[in-house]
Every structure is written in C-alpha cells, then in structure tokens.
C-alpha cells in the first residue's frame, strides 16, 4: 500500500468517525419550534389575493387563520380559510401563490360548498424560497411521510369531516410536445405538460368530444389519479367526468413524487385536480379563468358529491 493510499483511507475513516459522533448532536439540535396559528381579519392581510377582496361581504361567514411554522430546511406560511357552519365540505388546496385564479375559484367554491381552503403564501411566486439551504421548494411536491408538519397543516380538515380534496391550478398556454407520446396536436408552443393533448407513461388523456365550454380550451382539464395496481376508471369521479364529456387526464401512480395527488391516492383519499389556462391579472381575464374552474367544481360535485364514504380512516402525521 502506498503512503498516499494509506493516508486516503485514514482520512476517510476520520471523516466517518466524525460524522458518526456528530449524529446525536444533529438530532438533538433539530428543534423546529411551534406551529403558530392566529385568527386574523382578512380585510387587513397584506397579500395580493386578499387585497383583491376588501369588501367585508366577500368574507361574510368565513374565518381566516394565519399559520406559520418551520420544518427541516423550510419556513412555511399558510392561510386556512374555513366556513364554520359547513366544515365537512371539500378541502380546497391552492399551493401556488402565482396562480391567482385558483384562489379566486377556491373562495367562491368555499362559500358555495363549505369546507376549508388552504392557500400557500410564497410572496406571489410558484415556489417557496424561504429555505435555510438548497433550492426553493414546490409546495405541491412537499407531501412526504418523513416531513409530517406540512401535510398535517394542509390536510387537518380531513380528520374533521372534510371531503374530498380539490386542488386548483392554472397553467401556461399550450404544451411542450418533446416528451409526449401522443401525436402533435393543438398548441405545441408551450413549455409545460398540462394539456389534454399531452401523454406519456404516467399521463393519459381522454379528450372532450363536443369541446363545449369550458373544454373548448385544451388547457382546461380535470385530473383523475389512480394507483398502478388499479384501473383508470377506479380514480375518484373518473367515470362520471368522462361520461359528462370533461377533458380528463388520467394520472397513474407507482411511487409518490411528493405531489398531493400522489399522496392522496397512496393514502386512499378522494382527490380531484382542476386546471385551466393562466390568463393573467386583468380583472376580466382573471374572472374568465376563475369561472372555468368553478364550472368544473360545481358540475363534478353534482356528479360525485354523494359518494362520501360512511367511514374514512384518520390520517396520522408523525
């Protein structure tokens, strides 16, 4: 053995012993602190989503909590908006703070159908940049059993009668066909994969035949998520939405990617995701995007809202 090889092996051993000795210190040093939930007046919240609604009538019958906490490398800020007289309605989830029509549709749906809405505050951005180290975090890729605080706050209403989960998103116009296994069709000038014209091993589309409103737009779609051990039609509300001529994208899940859709299906929770094109902040265009989402919400709940199971397993967050 050469001197260099001997020294290299000795250095590796020293680093290993140091890391082993440091483990108890790291474990004992991790203290995320409390989860702080404060009831707040929505008319005073300094946030663009709330600033669009300074009329007290917009918040009549609703309560708002401001929730802050740390977990692992991230600091999180959520708003929990509840209709107390009907807490067993859906859990409305708006993870991306730059998808404003999702917030608009969620607030209207909450007033119509009850439940709880969780909106993630990321300073108007898609991703949470409040991290101690590493890259920013997509709030819709942070659902992991090993990070229990985040899902425990987002999904808390499910243990108090909330059902089902309905996520609300907007997406860029068109799609990128580079990885699509479907023939190129529609607007292929986009940058993402959210379109009824995109397909791969995970996403399989069922396009509306009549293309009636709101499905005259390829970017307006409903996602139906199912486990790889199931059939696509086993996804919650899937058969009904296809029969009602929705644009439906079937999402096949083998291993969770950290998204709420994957978390929900692997934990046997009824879940829907509605998407439409992001039309910007012009009030008229924002309302158009909002209305496409609320159309899908209202009709899907009319189709499947009576399928609430008699008993549902309690979620455990450790």
**pLDDT above 90 coverage of the chain, percent:** 87
Q: What is the pLDDT of residue 20?
A: 44
**How confident is the model over 262-274, as a mean pLDDT?**
97
Q: What is the pLDDT of residue 31?
A: 86
Six-digit token string for 275: 């998407």
- Chain mean pLDDT for the chain: 92
Residue 90 pLDDT class (50, 70, 90 cuts): very high
Six-digit token string for 193: 């994969």
What are the CA-CA distances from residue 212 to residues 86, 89, 207, 292 (Å)?
A: 32, 28, 11, 12
Closest residue by Cα to residue 296 from 259, 241, 229, 225: 241
Ranking 8-17, 151-160, 196-205 by mean pLDDT, the lowest is 8-17
pLDDT reading at 107 higher than 80: yes
Ramachandran assignment for 123, one of left (phi > 0), alpha (psi -120 to 50 degrees), beta (any other) = left
pLDDT reading at 221 higher than 90: yes
Q: What is the pLDDT of residue 29?
A: 59
Q: What is the pLDDT of residue 312?
A: 81
pLDDT tens-place string over residues 9-24: 444 444 444 344 444 5
pLDDT tens-place string over residues 23-77: 454 444 578 999 999 999 999 999 999 999 999 999 999 999 999 999 999 999 9
Q: What is the pLDDT of residue 30?
A: 73
Q: What is the pLDDT of residue 187?
A: 93
**How confident is the model over 211-235, as a mean pLDDT?**
97
pLDDT reading at 3 higher than 80: no
| Preceding peptide of 164 cis, ω within 30° | yes
């Amino acid at each position: 053995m050469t001197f260099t090889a001997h020294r290299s092996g000795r250095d590796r051993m020293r680093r290993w012993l140091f890391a082993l000795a440091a483990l108890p210190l790291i474990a004992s040093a991790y203290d995320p602190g409390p989860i702080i939930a404060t009831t707040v007046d929505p008319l005073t919240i300094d946030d663009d989503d709330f600033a669009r609604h300074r009329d007290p009538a917009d918040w009549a019958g609703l309560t708002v909590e401001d929730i802050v906490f740390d977990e692992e490398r991230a600091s999180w800020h959520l708003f929990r908006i509840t209709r107390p007289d009907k807490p067993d309605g859906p859990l409305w989830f708006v993870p991306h703070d730059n998808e404003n029509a999702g917030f608009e549709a969620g607030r209207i749906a909450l007033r119509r159908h009850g439940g709880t809405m969780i909106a993630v505050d990321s300073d108007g951005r898609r991703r949470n940049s409040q991290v101690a180290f590493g890259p920013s975090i997509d709030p819709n890729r942070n659902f992991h059993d090993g990070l229990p605080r985040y899902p425990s706050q987002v999904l808390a209403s499910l243990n108090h009668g909330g059902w089902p989960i309905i996520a609300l998103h907007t997406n860029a116009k068109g799609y990128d066909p580079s990885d699509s296994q479907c023939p190129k069709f529609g607007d292929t000038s986009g940058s993402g994969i959210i379109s009824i014209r995109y397909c791969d091993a995970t996403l399989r589309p069922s396009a509306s035949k009549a293309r009636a409103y709101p499905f005259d737009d390829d970017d307006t779609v409903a996602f139906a998520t199912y486990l790889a051990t199931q059939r696509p039609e086993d996804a919650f509300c899937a058969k009904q939405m296809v029969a009602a001529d929705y644009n439906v994208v079937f999402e096949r899940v083998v291993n969770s990617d950290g998204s709420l859709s994957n978390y929900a299906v692997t934990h046997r929770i009824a879940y829907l995701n509605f998407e439409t094109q992001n039309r910007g902040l012009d009030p008229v265009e924002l309302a158009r995007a909002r209305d496409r989402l609320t159309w899908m919400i209202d009709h899907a709940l009319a189709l499947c809202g009576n399928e609430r199971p008699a008993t549902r397993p309690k979620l455990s967050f450790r």
